[in-house]
């Protein structure tokens, strides 16, 4: 079998180590996401989902354990190399869209590509194609404030995929939307991920949404368990 796209082994993390306010969030987490697999990370608020996703996405470091992406050990990289790998390999989606307010939908998806050296015409064509695939093709010239919540989040999905990452990490990606919109927008995200063959780890506390993914794992008391 080929290397998993994401492999976490023995991940441990505490905040405020050594202080009376120390919080032990993760205790020896082992997790793999295979190529093309979509895994639901189910946990109540405060269980450590964001902490785990940030460590997997190279935005934070663990106290112990290793992180491998596409078979490459990321644990001992320099800060600049980690940043480079994160930009090249990982797409991140948050609960809130975090689009740049002064730029249009098309520009928000083109900019990360320009930063990676993609020529402008190619970046814009890819942005347009992604926006059409998520049903926002008629809104490319709109700024985020002129888009609905669901549209904003669809644009954020496109931005996360703009640089063709290998791994998608999403932290309650539709948690900010009303339940009807959330269902539709979530379906769009799953379609997009399946079409592109990406590997994804998607945190949600919604068990119905989790059931639409390939596999569900639960985070509780700093440990993972299968659902
Ligand atoms: P979730 O995403 O599941 O809601 P988080 O990973 O955000 O959980 O947080 C897990 C626990 O760690 C919570 O108790 C939270 O208060 C604590 N925590 C998160 N970030 C910090 C931090 N920077 N400093 C101290 N405690 C933190």
Residue 92 domain-assigned?
A: yes
Q: Compute the distance from residue 176 Cα to the ligand 1 centre, in Å.
A: 19
List the CATH number of the domain containing 166: 3.40.50.300
Question: Which is nearest to 65 in space by CA: 29, 35, 98, 21?
Answer: 29
Q: Compute the distance from residue 208 Cα to the ligand 1 centre, in Å.
A: 25
Q: Ligand 1 site: residues with CB under 6 angstroms?
A: 15-16, 23, 25, 43, 45-51
**What is the average per-residue pLDDT within 50-56?**
97
**What is the average per-residue pLDDT within 45-71?**
95
Which residue's C-alpha comes closest to atom 27 of ligand 1? 15
Residue 173 domain-assigned?
A: yes
pLDDT score at 2: 79
Q: Please check whether residue 74 is in contact with residue 11, taking contact to mean a CB–CB distance below 8 angstroms.
A: no
DSSP string for residues in 205-221: S-HHHHHTSSEEEEEET
| 187-206 tens-digit pLDDT | 999 999 999 999 999 999 88
Q: Compute the distance from residue 175 Cα to the ligand 1 centre, in Å.
A: 17
Q: Is 180 helix (H, G, I), strand (E, B) or coil?
A: helix
Lowest mean pLDDT among 48-52, 75-79, 126-130: 75-79
Question: How far is Cα 1 from Cα 212, in angstroms, rounded to an integer?
Answer: 25
pLDDT at 227 over 90: no
Domain count, the chain: 1
Residue 217 domain-assigned?
A: yes
Phi first, then psi: give them for residue 73, nearest 5 degrees: -75, 120
pLDDT score at 170: 97
Question: Which is nearest to 11 in space by CA: 186, 150, 201?
Answer: 201
pLDDT score at 1: 58
pLDDT score at 205: 87
pTM greater than 0.75 (yes/no) = yes
Residue 199 domain-assigned?
A: yes
Residue 40 domain-assigned?
A: yes
Residue 65 domain-assigned?
A: no
Residue 23 domain-assigned?
A: no
**What is the average per-residue pLDDT within 8-12?**
97
pLDDT at 157 over 80: yes
Per DSSP, 146 falls in state: G
| 14-45 tens-digit pLDDT | 999 889 999 999 999 999 999 999 999 999 88
């Amino acid at each position: 079998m080929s290397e998993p796209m994401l492999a976490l082994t023995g991940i441990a993390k505490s905040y405020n180590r050594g202080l009376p306010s120390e919080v032990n969030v993760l205790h020896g987490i082992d997790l793999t996401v295979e190529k093309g697999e979509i895994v639901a990370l189910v946990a109540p608020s405060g269980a450590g989902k964001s902490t785990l996703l940030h460590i997997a996405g190279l935005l934070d470091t663990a106290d112990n354990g290793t992180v491998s992406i596409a078979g490459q050990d990321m644990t001992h990289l320099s800060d600049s190399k980690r940043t480079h790998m994160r930009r090249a390999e990982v797409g991140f989606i948050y609960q809130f869209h975090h689009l740049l307010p002064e730029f249009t939908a098309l520009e928000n998806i083109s900019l990360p590509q320009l930063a990676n050296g993609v020529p402008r015409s190619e970046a814009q064509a890819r942005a347009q194609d992604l926006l059409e695939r998520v049903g926002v093709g008629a809104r490319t010239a709109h700024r985020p404030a002129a888009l609905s919540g669901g549209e904003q989040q669809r644009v954020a999905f496109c931005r996360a995929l703009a640089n063709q990452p290998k791994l998608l990490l999403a932290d309650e990606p539709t948690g900010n939307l009303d339940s009807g919109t959330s269902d539709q927008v979530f379906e769009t995200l799953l379609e997009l991920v399946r079409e592109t063959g990406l590997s994804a780890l998607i945190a949600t506390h919604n068990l119905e949404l989790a059931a639409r993914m390939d596999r569900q794992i639960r985070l509780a008391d700093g440990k993972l368990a299968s659902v």
